[in-house]
Amino acid sequence: MRKLLITGVGVLFLASCLKREDFPIRPQIEFISYTPNLNPVSAADSIGKVKFSFTDGDGDLGLGQGDTLGEFGIGQPYYYNLFVHYYEKQNGQYVEFVPVFPFHVRFQNLTPTGKDKTLEGEMEVGVYVRPGSPFDTVRYEMYIVDRALHVSDTIVTPDIVSPF
C-alpha cells in the first residue's frame, strides 16, 4: 500500500512539472457541433448554436472596448474577429448570401493574465437556421482573426436542414 501511495504521489509530481502544450501563434479552430434551438414564433427566426474549440499560442484573441482604431474601427475589415458566412443550397450548389447586416461577431479580449498566455477553449455562436430564405438547406463557414491579424482555418458546419 505504501509503495502504491509513493508511486501515485510521484506520478502527480511529474505531471505537475510537465510543460503546458505549445500551440501555434496562428489561432486554430475545430468544429464541435451544431445544436438546433427552434423558435416556435417563426420558422424564419429559428436559431441554432455552432460550437467550436480554439487554441492560440500567444493568447491574442479577442478585442477590448478600446480596440476601435485602425483596422479594428467601425466599418474597417477587422472590426469583427469571428467571421460568419451564410450559404444556401440552391439547385444542389451552395451560394453565399450576404445580408445587409453581417452575421460576424466581435468577441471580447480573452488574453489571460499572468505569464502563460496560451489559450485553449470552446466558443458557441448563435446562427439563424433560415433567415427568411426559401431554401431549406443552409450551412455556415466561420473563422477567427487574432489581434496580430493571424487568420485561423475555416470551419464548415454540416448541412442544416430546416424542419419547416
- DSSP at 43: G
pLDDT given at position 7: 36
Average pLDDT over residues 49-61: 95
- Give the 3-state secondary structure of residue 9: helix
Q: Can you say whether residue 68 is alpha, beta or left, with left for phi > 0 and alpha for psi between -120 and 50 degrees? A: alpha
**What does the block give as the cell for 159?**
448541412
Q: Could you report the per-residue pLDDT of 29-41, keeping only the tens digit for each?
A: 999 999 987 655 6
**Domains in the chain, CATH or no CATH each:** 22-161 (2.60.40)
pLDDT given at position 164: 62
Q: Could you report the per-residue pLDDT of 68-124, keeping only the tens digit for each?
A: 999 999 999 999 999 999 999 999 999 999 888 889 999 999 999 888 889 999 999
Q: Could you report the per-residue pLDDT of 123-158, keeping only the tens digit for each?
A: 999 888 766 678 888 999 999 999 999 999 999 999
- Sign of CA pseudo-dihedral 109, 19, 143, 33: negative
Between CA 144 and CA 150, with CA 149 as vertex, the angle to 5 degrees is 65
